[in-house]
């Protein structure tokens, strides 16, 4: 009985956009019947923190995700890497999403919006001037 009550409470909280710990999990706005309602979610959709071997002549897949919400990942080219990197997003149809971003050593750049209906997408990177292993974080 307690577990059923807990599940019901958690489901109700999720549907109403209320967090059990007191932080709102989303912001929802609605207009008249003539306008579509919208929702914006403030949580991170993708998180990746590791290293990838990058070359200067081609893009390498770094990570992928299948988002159900709009996302704008923050990509960091960590301090100590050999040089700048270029990063792009490719959707499941093979089309580039947004623009290519160049990220200096120790710098972070927020990617363009990856819309919820992009399907599975790949975040790809390549070295600008020196091939090697690059520590990268994406969140």
CATH 2.60.120 domain position(s) in the chain:
48-138
Helix (H) / strand (E) element for 100: namely strand 96-103
Q: For the segment 62-81, what is each residue's pLDDT rounded down to a tens digit?
A: 999 988 889 999 999 999 99
Task: Provide the 10 A C-beta neighbour count for residue 87.
Answer: 23
The Cα-based distances of 135 to 29, 51, 56, 61, 88 in angstroms read: 39, 4, 16, 14, 16
Cα–chain-centroid distance for residue 53?
A: 21
Is domain 48-138 given the CATH code 2.60.120 in the classification? yes
Reduce the DSSP state of residue 81 to 3 states and report it: coil
Residues of the chain predicted below pLDDT 70:
1-45
- In 3D space, the residue among 99, 25, 111 whose CA is nearest the CA of residue 63 turns out to be 111
pLDDT of residue 117: 85
pTM for this prediction: 0.68
Instruction: Report which DSSP code applies to 87.
Output: E
């Amino acid at each position: 009985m307690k577990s059923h009550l807990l599940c019901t409470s958690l489901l109700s909280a999720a549907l109403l956009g209320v967090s059990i710990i007191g932080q709102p999990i989303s912001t929802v706005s609605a207009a008249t019947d003539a306008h579509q309602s919208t929702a914006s979610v403030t949580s991170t959709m993708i998180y990746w923190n590791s290293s990838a071997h990058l070359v200067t002549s081609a893009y390498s897949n770094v990570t992928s995700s299948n988002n159900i919400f709009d996302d704008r990942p923050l990509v960091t080219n960590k301090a100590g890497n050999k040089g700048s990197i270029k990063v792009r997003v490719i959707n499941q149809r093979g089309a580039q999403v947004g623009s290519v971003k160049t990220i200096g050593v120790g710098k972070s750049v927020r990617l363009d919006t990856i819309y919820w209906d992009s399907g599975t997408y790949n975040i790809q990177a390549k070295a600008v001037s020196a091939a090697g292993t690059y520590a990268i974080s994406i969140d």
